[in-house]
Amino acid sequence: MVKIIAKNISKYFKKRNGYVIALDDVSLTVESGARFGILGPSGAGKTTFMRIIAGLEVPTKGELYFDDKLVASNNKIIVPPEDRKIGMVFQTWALYPNLTAFDNIAFPLTNMKLSKEEIRKRVEEIAKILDIGHVLDHYPRELSGGQQQRVALARALVKNPSLLLLDEPFSNLDARMRDSARALVKDVQEKLGVTLIIVSHDPADIFSIADNVGVLVKGKLVQVGRPEDVYNNPVTIEVANLIGEINELEGKVTKEGVIVGNLKFPLDKSYKSERVIVGIRPEDVKFTKDLINDENWILVGKGVVKVIGYQGGMFRITVTPLEGSEDEEIVTYMDHPLKRKEEVLIYVKKGSVKIFET
């Protein structure tokens, strides 16, 4: 296990007519033995940050520590990648097609020039943990996607690393297999005690594995916290969208509340901006034809059913305000359908409305 400390790390890439800032003054601490997620859109700097931790990139500015040991600083690699005790799993898994699963897993140990007996012992131990002992003599083309992913994970763990880095590790798996793969990674991490950092654009990866998450947007670390805290209290609408689905409405601040068409949302404090973004999670919305006698739900107005969809055993209902732009839409999920174009009452859960200044 190792503690990772990043201090004011920036990374610039040269371009023909200047520089591109991939990371901008990122400071972060990942505690020893922790499971930490890095979430962000494409191009946010997630993989660049992971490559700096791995030693595959050098920070243009700033310092990187493993525990109290400086490993990189201001365009200098102080501790090379091979000496950082890191295991990495890439999005593509990068298995050698001409090697068996056993030889793929053993590859880093062979480079370390360990004895054949020690190599076999370590490979069989990690294969038992990952339940792939029965496919060690198979080639990658003979393995399922899930088995290939386990082989890649085994290859990363067989060196007994202090730090495991996962870069979009489940992207090549179908939706059905991702849940079991996430559970496997978490179980293995808990068993081995290794510090784990996972980079992903998928919030499901973060919620399933990470105890804490850092959100990168355009190279800046904009929020750090427990996944559920970031979900419930995002600092911007962009972060809100990254961590989960959210309804996004343009509103006007008045003394009575935030007005969106004929809808009126409650205010919990004053705002400097007159124009704001109202954010509401789908689970914090109810559409009904009858009044709700529950103080935890607030009636904000009426709407018209626009679209009825179906996914995951639930009906996805889209409603527009009775008055105002049809571009303003509110979505929730229900266990029964509504009729298109019928009027409904729109309720929101008390304390759930998020207001973002523009």
Q: Report the mean per-residue pLDDT for the chain.
A: 93
Alpha-carbon span 280 to 215, nearest angstrom: 20
Task: Give tens-digit pLDDT for 216-248.
Answer: 999 999 999 999 999 999 999 999 999 999 999
Mean pLDDT over residues 33-46, rounded? 94
SS3 301: strand
Please say whether the beta carbons of 21 and 12 come within 8 A.
Answer: yes
pLDDT at 94: 83
Candidate from 15-24, 273-282, 299-308 with smallest mean pLDDT = 15-24
For 215-283, the DSSP string reads EEETTEEEEEE-HHHHHHS-SSHHHHHHHS--EEEEEEE-SS-EEETTEEE--SS--S-SEEEEEE-GG
Mean pLDDT of 291-320: 94
Residue 169, pLDDT score: 85
Q: What letter does residue 289 receive in the DSSP assignment?
A: S
Given this model, what pLDDT does residue 171 score?
A: 81
Model confidence at 164: pLDDT above 90: yes
pLDDT band of 122, cuts 50, 70, 90? very high
CA 217, 220, 223, 228 dihedral sign is positive
**Collapsing DSSP states into helix, strand and coil, what is residue 285?**
strand
- Domains in the chain: ranges and CATH: 4-238 (3.40.50.300), 245-357 (2.40.50.140)
What pTM was estimated for this model as a whole? 0.88
- HSE-CB at 268 with a 13 A cutoff on CA atoms is 8
Tell whether the model's pLDDT for residue 325 goes beyond 80.
no
- Given this model, what pLDDT does residue 178 score? 86
What are the DSSP E strand ranges found in 2-128? 4-15, 18-30, 35-39, 61-66, 69-73, 76-77, 86-89
Locus of tokens 């931790």: 53
- pLDDT tops 80 at residue 93: no
Q: Quote the pLDDT of residue 311.
A: 85
Q: Are 43 and 190 in contact (CB under 8 A)?
A: no
pLDDT of residue 132: 92
